[in-house]
């Protein structure tokens, strides 16, 4: 079978490259057929250019061009052995359609042989509109951008610049469905603010009139970026691009972008005026720089707020990027052999509360020795996840502490998937839960990265946790670490243009042998740009090594209610706003036990706003927590179908708890009194009294511990201001185990605690 290159362009007739240097070796050739990707019919009069692959990236000159014949065939002959690149220009036209640009970058020619390369071209449609100023005058030079990789092999970036009439026209993969988001970036040399189109748009063959933009003048933010050693951070050919992104109250606006100069100074032009704005350090989960041979890195965090007038220039001062730490991961199998190509993902919170995600695109993987060295990890607390096909997923059981300038090493042993069991099943209401177009038709996940910017549902997945797991407050911040395995539910597509062989809604997931809790969830982006999970009820699954469990059906309840609100933190509480980048809100069924993560989970935007949509009617409570923020637990509340319920969350830390700790009527000194929610604690004075300050209002669990006494746990509802609670401790005693016989009934059982005095013991051993 011939290889097929999925391209978007044109090709040509047989061309002999007579100008190439003569060689003693035999000459080769490239030939094939140019076809329409959708119909597979041949395309005539399509032009294709031939390049040396090694020179193409440097804008090398085409070696030759060819044009396809009436049967779609083309060929290049007289080729020396080597790798060649075939480029099809955007806008190539057939009888009925225009086609897109793309590349076949590596076509290998062997001496004396002909490389067969068929070319499949994607149909194109156009999306157009107009850009004016507030007076209705056309703006020339505005850049319209669509980020959409909707077909394999296509570039995800589509750009058009407005002409003298302010018109933009984007050539995109043909779509009769409204699937394209669009934004207009700031115009070079001006202070116009960037805008995002209010919806999603089609790109039809005859052209689709998309949004018209009216750009208003804005303001300018300036500042300087330096390393923790005082060196400027700037952009050159050797250094990653610094991209501070602006976030306003409607979500994540990916423009304007500031690039520091060689002294680290930047100017962010075209920021919205008259509203609170925040400068976001970047938008890809992590950013790193190398300066003078040292690595520096930070997570996603916000700086601000700033509120500027039209035409105003405001300098934010100096922003510091901390020295990075390194992480060395060694991955082996159970026999100690290196595992090659294992994907490594690092997720966590940096020292400033910024969100970090490294390797989320699958770009970080182990080498032939089973090792991966990450030289630029932001200092902070990180989770480690390792995955490799044929092995069970590995999640490191605790956070790794990354310190500036130091290397943290960790060894991972992956278990063969055959030591676990396989679960096959389906999501029963997949058609309801999956992302859909305006006609209600299921769309492929390949659309989701851009849909997620617009409050659309995303991928449907399943995850498992060990049975018996209790989701404590401290587990919520690191909820991913408790996923023993995750798997994507089949969407039924190869890409937007092709159906897969698998049934939509089906899944298979490998689990460790034993009892597991399996749950389906839908991931997406909320209206405010936060990560959003909508979760189903867990199903208990038990399996043995090598076993396959089939017929499992999971569901994701979809409702019409909305729960929304704003999170606020006292200005004098450190780290304050910064931690909002990693704060999460969980919606839980009021009558569910702690073994269930929740019905929904979301993160918040820079303004502290959160929203959970498509919530089923029911009674719930909220849990909110963030790094060094403690936790907030609401009282139960009820939502009805179609209702929007506002629940604001305040981390007020305005509660004080006082009281005494006694035992047998006598005060207990030096007892530790601790809050589970905030992590704050104190010790009792000589008279047994204590005062615990800085507590959160709402529900909290207070734990009292003292050597020689049994631990005392008490759940309290605290209110802002003064609260009081006394504690009485019982003497601690040695535990006993053995066979216990009741003298009255002659029945016996094994016990590990003290019983009533009248009970007799036999075969008892004391545990120190």
Same domain, 340 and 436: no
Instruction: For residue 664, name the pLDDT band (cuts at 50, 70, 90).
Output: very high
CA angle 13, 16, 17 (to 5 degrees): 125
> Which is more confidently placed, 592 or 638?
638
Domain assignment of residue 425, yes or no: no
Same domain, 460 and 474: yes
Short-list 246, 254, 300, CA closest to 275 = 246
Whether a cis peptide bond, with omega within 30° of 0, leads into 19 is: no
Q: Answer whether residue 276 shows pLDDT above 50.
A: yes
CA gap 491, 479 in Å, rounded: 25
CATH number, domain of 405, equals: 2.60.40.1120
Instruction: For residue 381, name the pLDDT band (cuts at 50, 70, 90).
Output: confident
Q: Answer whether residue 19 shows pLDDT above 60.
A: no
CATH number, domain of 242, equals: 2.60.40.10
Short-list 122, 119, 88, CA closest to 102 = 88
pLDDT digits (tens, 9 = 90+) for 741-756: 555 555 555 554 444 3
Domain assignment of residue 424, yes or no: no
Same domain, 640 and 677: no
Last residue of a domain, which of 101, 121, 141?
121
pTM value is 0.72
Domain assignment of residue 423, yes or no: no
CA gap 410, 366 in Å, rounded: 13
Same domain, 711 and 753: no
Range of the structural domain that residue 593 is part of: 430-651
Which of 35-39, 58-62, 289-293, 411-415 ranks highest by mean pLDDT?
A: 411-415
Spatial contact of 677 and 629, defined as CB atoms under 8 Å apart? no
Whether a cis peptide bond, with omega within 30° of 0, leads into 305 is: yes
Last residue of a domain, which of 93, 121, 149?
121
CA gap 579, 76 in Å, rounded: 59
Same domain, 406 and 444: no
State phi, psi for 583 to the nearest 5 degrees: -80, 140
Same domain, 456 and 548: yes
CA gap 399, 550 in Å, rounded: 34
Instruction: For residue 758, name the pLDDT band (cuts at 50, 70, 90).
Output: very low
CA gap 419, 727 in Å, rounded: 49
- DSSP annotation of 281 reads S
Domain assignment of residue 421, yes or no: no
Which pLDDT belongs to residue 257?
61
What number is the average pLDDT over the span 571-587? 66
Domain assignment of residue 420, yes or no: no
Which pLDDT belongs to residue 89?
84
Q: What is the DSSP string of 183-226?
A: EEEPPTTS-BPPEE-SS-EEEBTT-EE---EEE-B-EEEEEEEE
**Rounded to 5, what percent of the chain is helix, strand, coil?**
5, 50, 45
- Our count of domains for the chain comes to 7
Same domain, 641 and 493: yes
> Which is more confidently placed, 425 or 37?
425
User: Helix, strand or coil for residue 136?
Assistant: coil
Instruction: For residue 291, name the pLDDT band (cuts at 50, 70, 90).
Output: confident
CA gap 559, 441 in Å, rounded: 19
Instruction: For residue 213, name the pLDDT band (cuts at 50, 70, 90).
Output: very high
Q: Answer whether residue 766 shows pLDDT above 60.
A: no
pLDDT digits (tens, 9 = 90+) for 672-686: 999 987 778 999 999
Short-list 221, 454, 418, 267, CA closest to 333 = 418
Which pLDDT belongs to residue 244?
39
pLDDT digits (tens, 9 = 90+) for 45-67: 999 999 988 777 666 688 999 99
Q: Answer whether residue 765 shows pLDDT above 60.
A: no
Same domain, 498 and 646: yes
CA gap 329, 128 in Å, rounded: 49
Q: Answer whether residue 633 shows pLDDT above 70.
A: yes
Q: Answer whether residue 594 shows pLDDT above 80.
A: no
Chain-centroid distance, C-alpha 388: 19
E strand or H helix at 433, and its extent? helix 430-433
What number is the average pLDDT over the span 240-261? 48
Domain assignment of residue 61, yes or no: yes
- Quote the tokens at residue 382: 């990180």
Domain assignment of residue 70, yes or no: yes
Last residue of a domain, which of 169, 198, 215?
215
Domain assignment of residue 298, yes or no: yes
CA gap 92, 73 in Å, rounded: 16
Q: Answer whether residue 697 shows pLDDT above 50.
A: yes
Q: Answer whether residue 21 shows pLDDT above 60.
A: no
Same domain, 550 and 570: yes
Same domain, 256 and 180: no
What residues pair up with 203 in beta bridges, in sequence order? Answer: 175
Strand pairing of 47-52 and 64-67? antiparallel
What number is the average pLDDT over the span 119-123? 88
Which pLDDT belongs to residue 285?
56
Same domain, 93 and 52: yes
What number is the average pLDDT over the span 338-351? 90
User: Helix, strand or coil for residue 578?
Assistant: helix
The percentage of residues in the chain with a pLDDT greater than 70, rounded to a whole number, is 80
Share the mean pLDDT of the chain. Answer: 81
Which pLDDT belongs to residue 496?
67
Compute the radius of gyration of the chain from its Cα atoms: 31
Same domain, 571 and 646: yes
């Amino acid at each position: 079978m011939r290889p097929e290159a999925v391209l978007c362009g044109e090709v040509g007739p047989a061309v002999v490259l007579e100008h190439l240097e003569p060689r003693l070796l035999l000459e080769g050739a490239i030939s094939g057929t140019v076809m329409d990707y959708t119909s597979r019919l041949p395309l005539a009069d399509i032009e294709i250019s031939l390049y040396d692959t090694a020179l193409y990236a440097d804008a090398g000159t085409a070696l030759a061009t060819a044009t396809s014949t009436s049967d779609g065939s083309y060929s290049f002959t007289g080729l020396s052995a080597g790798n060649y690149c075939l480029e099809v220009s955007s806008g190539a036209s057939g009888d009925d359609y225009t086609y897109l640009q793309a590349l076949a970058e590596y076509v290998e020619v062997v001496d004396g042989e002909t490389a067969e390369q068929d070319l499949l071209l994607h149909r194109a449609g156009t999306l157009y509109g107009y850009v004016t100023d507030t007076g209705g005058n056309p703006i020339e030079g505005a850049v319209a951008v669509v980020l959409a990789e909707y077909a394999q092999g296509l570039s995800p970036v589509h750009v058009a610049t407005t002409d003298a009439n302010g018109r933009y026209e984007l050539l995109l993969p043909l779509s009769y469905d409204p699937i394209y988001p669009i934004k207009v970036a700031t115009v070079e040399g001006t202070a116009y603010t960037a805008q995002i189109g209010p919806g999603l748009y089609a790109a039809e063959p005859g052209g689709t009139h998309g949004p018209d933009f009216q750009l208003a003048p804005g303001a300018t933010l300036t500042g300087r970026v330096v390393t923790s050693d005082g060196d400027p951070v700037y952009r050159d050919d050797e250094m990653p691009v610094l991209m501070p992104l602006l976030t306003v109250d409607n979500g994540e606006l990916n423009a304007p972008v500031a690039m520091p100069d060689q002294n680290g100074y930047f100017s962010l032009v075209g920021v919205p005026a008259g509203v609170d704005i925040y400068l976001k350090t970047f938008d890809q989960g992590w950013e790193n720089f190398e300066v003078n041979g040292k690595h520096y890195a930070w997570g996603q965090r916000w700086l601000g707020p700033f509120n500027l007038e039209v035409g105003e220039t405001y300098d934010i001062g100096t922003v510091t990027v901390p020295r990075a730490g390194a992480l060395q991961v060694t991955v082996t199998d159970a026999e100690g052999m290196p595992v090659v190509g294992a994907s490594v993902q690092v997720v966590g919170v940096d020292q400033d509360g910024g969100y970090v995600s490294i390797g989320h695109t699958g770009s970080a993987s182990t080498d032939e020795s089973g090792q991966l060295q990450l030289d630029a990890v932001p200092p902070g607390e990180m989770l480690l996840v390792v995955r490799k096909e044929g092995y069970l997923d590995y999640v490191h059981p605790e956070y790794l502490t990354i310190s500036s300038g130091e290397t943290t090493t960790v060894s991972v042993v992956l278990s063969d998937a055959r030591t676990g069991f396989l679960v096959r099943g389906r999501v029963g209401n997949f058609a309801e839960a999956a992302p859909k177009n305006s006609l209600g038709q299921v769309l492929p996940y390949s659309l989701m990265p851009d849909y997620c910017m617009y409050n659309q549902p995303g991928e449907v997945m399943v995850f498992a946790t060990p049975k018996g797991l209790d989701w404590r407050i401290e587990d919520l911040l690191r909820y991913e670490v408790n996923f023993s395995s995750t798997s994507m539910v089949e969407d039924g597509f190869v890409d937007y243009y092709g159906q897969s062989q698998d049934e939509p809604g089906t899944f298979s997931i490998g689990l460790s042998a034993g009892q597991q809790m399996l749950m389906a969830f839908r991931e997406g982006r909320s209206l405010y740009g936060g990560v959003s999970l909508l979760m189903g009820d867990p199903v208990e699954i038990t399996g043995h090594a090598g076993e396959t469990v089939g017929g499992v059906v999971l569901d994701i309840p979809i409702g019409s209610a909305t729960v929304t609100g704003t999170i606020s933190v006292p200005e004098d509480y450190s780290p304050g706003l910064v931690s909002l980048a990693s704060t999460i809100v969980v919606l839980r069924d009021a009558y569910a036990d702690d073994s269930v993560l929740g019905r929904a989970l979301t993160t918040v935007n820079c303004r502290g706003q959160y929203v959970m949509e498509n919530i089923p009617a029911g009674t719930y409570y909220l849990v909110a927590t963030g790094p060094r923020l403690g936790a907030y637990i609401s009282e139960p509340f009820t939502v009805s179908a179609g209702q929007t319920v506002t629940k604001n969350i305040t981390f007020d830390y305005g509660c004080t708890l006082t009281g005494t700790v006694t035992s047998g009527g006598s005060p207990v000194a030096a007892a530790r009194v601790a809050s589970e929610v905030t992590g704050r604690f104190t010790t009792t004075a000589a008279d047994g009294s204590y005062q615990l300050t800085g507590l959160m209002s709402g529900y909290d669990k207070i734990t009292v511990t003292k050597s020689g006494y049994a631990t005392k746990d008490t759940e309290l509802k605290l209110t802002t201001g003064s609260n009081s609670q006394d504690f009485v401790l019982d003497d601690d005693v040695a535990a006993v185990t053995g066979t216990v016989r009741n003298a009255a009934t002659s029945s016996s059982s094994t016990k590990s605690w003290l019983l009533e005095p009248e009970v007799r013991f036999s075969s008892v051993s004391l545990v120190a």
